[in-house]
Chains A and B, each alone.
Chain A
Amino acid sequence: MEGRLQSDPRPSQRPPVRLTVVAAAVFVAALAASVLIGANEVRHDVAQSVARDSKLTPAERRHAAGNRLGFNAAAFDAFRVTLQPRERYAVDVPPGAKGPFITRGAVVRAYAAFYFLPAIQVEQADHVFRYRFR
């Protein structure tokens, strides 16, 4: 078999794996069932996603991540308009509650880094974004 099909796409005379008729039927039935079950479930997922997400306003979309985290979007927007591209800024935020991986304060820093790009977050700067949890 080695080298047999170096560049020939035509089907081989004998398949490399042979199944009995019963095994092949079970395999095809399992695949078909998987397709049907998946299609039924994913149809609802698609409809749900479209119904939920197509209603988002531009502002909700812009702050989708922050809203999901329960952050005050206005505070981020107010600071963002004061920033220039590549300007250095720092973040002053209390550590806050500990989440499954990091603290809420760390999440605010991460969201600020994302939301304020192309301004650059650094550890110390004159321009400081202050955020307090409600």
Chain B
Amino acid sequence: MRMAALLGANALMLVAGLGMLPLLGIARSWRLLVFRCGLAYLCGILLVGIVSAQLALVHVSFGWIGLAVLAALSLGFCAWRLNGTERPGRRRPNWIDGVGFAALIALMIDYGRAFRVAPLNRYDAWAIWALKGHALYTLGWADPVVFAGASYRFANLDYPLLLPSLEAVDFRAMGAFDTRLVHVQFLLFLVAALLALFALLRDRVPALILWLSLFALALAPAVFGQLLTGYADLPLALVFGVGTGAAGRWVITNERWALALATFCFAGTLLTKNEGSLFVLAVFLGLLAAAHARWRALAVAAAVDVLLLLPWRIYVHDHNLRDINYSLGDSFDFEHLRGRLGV
């Protein structure tokens, strides 16, 4: 029953993500919506994560009702925006894609056997992410009694709330703080990222190379092992990876939707872990170097990301939360780097 609830909540995230495709300019017709619908799931997860994380700061909890409203609004917007546009035509199915999808489904079902029984026993998973997800679920919002409490300083309180908010949405959907099934959400992150990469690159990369690359990622033992820990590092890497892929596509093709998608993924990166700020800054600097003539578009993209991060930074500032492990400045501090690298 709880598994069905978790999957149901994720189905609503997928529907919510469909509306993001016309909004971001990824799909300007029904035909393109079908062609790029693989991006919908990751966009939906990020949308729900970003919205619920922002609402958690203003005492609004996000559960079934929030998911249903977001999905309904999304579907309505999608239908309105794409009304009268080109319909998808009949395409001969690509056999490589068919084999790829069948193998991917089989692999995810196999992985699912491990994720649905995994115990929550790794330090960061319970001490940071699940603790915050549980607190959001039981307290209903980012109550400073926990999220700025002196006794909870060990939980990296200045880390943003996208992942705990997503876990809290799952707990509300399941009606329980389920330390076992929460791992399935991490597997679904991988599914969403693989589908997104497929949709993002399918018209730029030969099918064989694309599928081999996706399976190289999905079958990497470190990806399986890290996802199973329930840490935020792999979700961060997956979201950032899709964003970087979209940014690369924008550099080559100058498609505005690719930059919009990158911007959205970078917002997700920034709201997942503080380390994301270094990655996103590095990509923006790289983009500026590679496409300096298009600096205005980049400035708008950066402004949107800063704007989406701003409510959390205000919360951090208001409650005087200090980073105990990482800050962007550390990346440029020689002594810190030397200590971390064990030099």
Contacts and interface: CB of A to CB of B under 8 A. Distances in A.
Contacts of B212: 28, 31-32, 35
B131 A45 contact: no
Interface in A1-55: 1-7, 9-12, 15-16, 27-28, 31-32, 34-35, 38-39, 41-42, 45-46, 49-50, 53-54
A61 B179 contact: yes
Interface residues of B, number: 55
A102 B155 CA distance: 12
Contacts, number: 144
A75 interface: no
Contacts of B215: 35, 38-39
Chain B contact surface mostly: helix
B138 interface: yes
B119 interface: yes
- Max chain B Cβ within 10 angstroms of own Cβ: one of A7, A41, A110, A122: A7
Contact of A49 (B154, B228, B253, B256): B228
A5 to B, nearest CB: 5
Interface size range on A against B: 35 or more
Contacts of B130: 114
B65 interface: no
A109 B228 contact: no
Interface string B144-169: 01100111101100000000000000
A42 B208 contact: no
A65 interface: yes
Interface stretch (B218-226, B236-244, B309-317): B218-226
Interface of B: 28-29, 32, 35-36, 110-111, 113-114, 117-123, 126-127, 130-131, 134-135, 138-139, 145-146, 149-152, 154-155, 179-180, 202-204, 208-209, 212-213, 215-216, 219-221, 224-225, 228, 252-257
